[in-house]
Structure 1
Amino acid sequence: MTIFHGLSAFPITPADTEGRVDIDAFDRLLDRLLVAQVHSVGLLGSTGIYAYLTRNERRRAIEAAVRRLDGKIPLVSGVGALRTDEAVALARDARETGADGLLLAPVSYTPLTEDEVFEHCRSVAEAGALPLCLYNNPSTTHFTFSPALIERLSRLDHIAAIKMPLPAGQTVAAELEDLRDRLPRDFAIGYSGDWGCTEALLAGADAWFSVLGGILPNTALRILGAACNGDADTAWSINARLTPLWDLFRSYGSLRVAYAMAHELDLTEAMPPRPVLPLPEKGVQGLRAAMREIRDVEDKELASPLVNGPSHD
């Protein structure tokens, strides 16, 4: 199994109003992931507010995570930045401070061409010299990796996986089949968009890059374990109980909801980085109801947590 298989849990990065990371609160969030034994921690992704943190604060977050995880769980660090030289520097920082892998989104202001994104990813992969997962997040970056571009990039050294959004206009299974035909056998394909990841796992995705996993890891592990054991009924049953939460994710954005969940669990008082506003009171009330529905799922002990994660023949 590579670091881009199984449940990759994406926690928030609690910080003050000036963008300084609260290490104590961060440790509390990471401790939950250690106890649950997720398959990797996805640091400084969108939920981890990478775009709002300085290079120094990103490095402090990586150092804190490396220290807290202590080699027990692989750490994947986001290294997205507007300029290639900045992303290259962040990739080197991640390697030097002990990250096990990289996550790269082609952040842009001016719309990028496929050749520009290819060269950007190539430069960062070479500089980081760690297994790298491409981050296909068009709703944030306004760039979509085409299957042809993914295929080109998959041939480069160090580029080992892609984090995909849920597809529009086709099923996950159909998209996976097309990508598997194009990509090297050992290239990992995972999905984000928590509300659709039960379908993705049952269709054979290698990984679930999960906001839920960053805050309620046992619930996410139960879905993943059921899906990978072929128990579709259990996976869909747990997923159905999460419907109110998924509705909140889609209505308000998973970032705002993740912060509110951390508040409800008394893990941190940190707010989303401004100008992002916290979840409004109507959403908080809905979240409390949703969390009551799933609390017993989260509290159940996993008898045999999945170690290897999903795989395909």
Structure 2
Amino acid sequence: MFTGLSAFPITPFTNEEIDYKAFERLIDNLVDARVDSICAMGSTGLYPYLSKAQLEQVAKTAVASAKGTPVMAGIGSLRTRDVLENLEAVQHGGVNAVLLAPVSYQPLNEEEVFGLYQSVSQATSVPICVYENPRVTNFTFSDSLYQRITQLPHIGAIKIPGMPFSPENGQANGQKGAERLATLRVLVPQHVAIGVSGDSFGAAGMAQGCDLWLSVLGGIFPKTVQHIIALAQSDNANEATAYSASLNRLWALFARNGGGLRVVAAAAAILGFSERVNLPAPFLPIGDDDFLALEGLIETLALA
């Protein structure tokens, strides 16, 4: 399941309760686009904000609506015990894989993070996608830690930050990203997929040979991301980079709003999938100016 587009939809709320009908509409949109997999509760899906019971119910809803499309769910939490309980909940929900970041309040060291993945790898019956997100977790995986963790059973993929694929971090055509990917290919077992995250870096990551793009944008505009992936994996890789650059106003909107979550939540409202206010407090919707700008971008960029 760790190939192509892994789409990350929001978990929509209304009046502080999960809006399951809106969630089903979002999943239907991804199924219609024939995405390769769905991460029902990634960071965009707010897994740290959901109770164990909610995790299980969202997982069940996603699996039922996915009509056979593989479903992954985030299970991160502050304590290993709670991570294991979340794992049990989403497995009861029928998911095909789990996404695990080393969530923390107090900074974790490498032995603590390794112990977390070791505990989960011993308890799971589905593959684990290792999620590195230093901006959120304040933890960066060393190469030696990647090597150790990916030797554990049930590790199916790693989700790496996209920054190495930025043109600013290397010479033409993402040389730095290619070097980073080559290093990881040596360190991790062949069966472990390598996925790129950070949507503005997705085109370059896929062009350089990443196995999958774990995409926030793909959770609401799957056909747009699929088009970029198709270009990146063809002889038209430069066209993929150019197409991604044409979305720079959208990437700027992401950056201005602290990432993609609030922007794709607004997009879900614009497209009629959910209510305008669709995230739990303390999250606020994007401002009116950005909302209007997003409406214009959806039309002018023909996002789909």
Please say whether Structure 1 and Structure 2 have the same fold, judged by a TM-score greater than 0.5.
Answer: yes
TM score, norm. by length of structure 2: 0.93
Superposed, which structure 2 residues align to 1:14-163 within 5 Å? 14-18=12-16, 20-71=17-68, 73-163=69-159
TM-score, length of structure 1 as denominator length: 0.90
Query: Which residue identity lines up with residue 6 of structure 1 in the other structure?
Result: G
Range with bigger deviation, 266-275 or 98-107? 266-275
Partner of 1:12: 10
Q: Distance in 1 between matches of 2:90 and 2:30?
A: 20
Measure the CA separation in 1 of the matches of 2:74 and 2:191: 21
Tell me the amino acid that sits aligned with residue 23 of structure 1. Answer: Y
One-letter code aligned to 1:185: Q
Task: Give the distance between the partners of 1:196 and 1:216, measured in 2 at CA.
Answer: 16
Which residue of structure 2 aligns with residue 274 of structure 1?
281
1:178 is matched with 183
C-alpha separation between the residues in 1 aligned to 2:163 and 2:264? 23
Q: Residues 33 and 223 of structure 2 are in contact (CA less than 8 Å); yes or no, is this contact kept in structure 1? A: yes
| Equivalent-residue separation in structure 2 for 1:147 and 1:230 (angstroms) | 31
**What does the per-residue CA deviation read over 1:206-245, in whole Å, with 9 as the maximum and x for residues that have no partner?**
1100011100000000001111123124313421331211
Equivalents in 1 of 2:122, 2:298: separation in Å?
43
**Which runs of no fewer than 5 residues in structure 2 stay unpaired?**
171-175
Q: Secondary structure at the match of 2:98?
A: strand
Matched with 1:213 is 218
Q: How many pairs does the alignment contain?
A: 293
SS in structure 2 at match of 1:286:
helix
1:198–1:224 CA contact under 8 A, matched in 2: yes
From 195, 206, 229, give the equivalent of 1:190.
195
Q: Percent identity among equivalent residues?
A: 40
Please identify runs of 4+ aligned residues in structure 1 that moved more than 3 A: none
2:262 to 239, 242, 256: 256
Checking the alignment, whether the CA contact within 8 Å between 2:31 and 2:67 is kept in structure 1 is: no
Q: CA deviation at 1:144?
A: 1.1
Give 1:104 deviation, angstroms. Answer: 0.2
SS of the aligned residue for 1:151 comes to: helix
Alignment gaps of 5+ in structure 1: 299-313
Q: Partners of 1:238 and 1:96 in 2: how far apart?
A: 40
> Would you say the 8 A contact 1:17–1:274 is kept in 2?
no
RMSD: 1.3
- Cα distance in 1 for residues equivalent to 2:57 and 2:92: 12
Give the distance between the partners of 2:180 and 2:36, measured in 1 at CA.
Answer: 24
